[in-house]
Amino acid sequence: RFVAVSDNVKDYVWGNDFIVCLPYSSKELTVYDWYQDSGVEEVFEFDATVQKLLVSEDGKYTVANTLNDEMIIIDNETMKIKSRIPYEDYIYDMKFIEDNIIQCVGNYNVWTYDMDGKLLENVAIQEDYFNVEKLTADGKYVYGHTLDYLVAINCKTGEVEKQLPKDLLSYDYTYVFSNDADKCVILNKETRTLNLYDTASGTTLGSIDINATYVATICFSENDECVYVVYEDGNVEQYDSTTLTLKCVVTDLEY
Q: What is the pLDDT of residues 26-42, one digit of tens each?
A: 777 888 887 777 777 77
190: number of Cβ within 10 Å:
11
* pLDDT value at residue 127: 84
* pLDDT value at residue 255: 37
Contact 115, 100 (CB under 8 A): yes
For residue 143, give the H/E element and its range. strand 141-145
Nearest Cα neighbor of 91 from 54, 41, 42 is: 54
The stretches in the chain having pLDDT less than 70 are 1-7, 25, 170, 251-255
**Percentage of residues of the chain with pLDDT beyond 70:** 93
Q: What is the pLDDT of residues 102-159, one digit of tens each?
A: 999 998 899 999 999 999 999 999 888 899 999 998 889 999 999 889 999 999 999 9
